[in-house]
Amino acid sequence: MPDTTTTSQLTLTKTRIHAGVWEGMLMADGTGAVQPQIEVIHLDAPLPGAELKADGEMPNLWQLRVPIPAELLCEGVQTFTIRDARTGATLEHFTIVTGQPLEDDIRAELDLLRAELDMLKKAFRRHCLEVLGR
């Protein structure tokens, strides 16, 4: 099922990422809608190249294509935010993870959290026994 995010006037639905291009359908409330202005942000900087093309059949429906530049793909997590340029409202975002898998890091963090939680549980139980034992 596609991800759908709604603002007061625009609904953006992701359709796919294919050949380095994020694709989605943008729908405006009402039938006489003016073509929206879209901006894509990566690391607080605008990303050039986003294309918004009328669907042809419906006056309030557009196809959005966002090319993902290869030079932005580097080790770690990269997040791209798609916004309505007129209002600044976030319509959608997508994240790309590259490089070393984060699974090991997440598992290590989870193991540390479990160990700390076990330590806190033991200390809390000991405290409760001391308070009740008085």
Quote the pLDDT of residue 99: 76
Who contacts 1 (Cβ-Cβ below 8 Å, separation ≥6)?
none
Quote the pLDDT of residue 8: 46
Instruction: Give domain limits for the chain.
Output: 4-98, 101-134
Quote the pLDDT of residue 109: 79
Quote the pLDDT of residue 67: 96
Residue ranges, the chain, pLDDT below 70: 1-8, 31-33, 101-104, 134
Model pLDDT for residues 6-44, shown as the tens digit of each residue: 444 899 999 999 999 999 999 988 755 688 999 999 998
Tell me the pairing of strands 90-98 and 51-54: unpaired
pTM of the shown model: 0.68
Can you name the CATH fold of 4-98? Immunoglobulin-like (2.60.40)
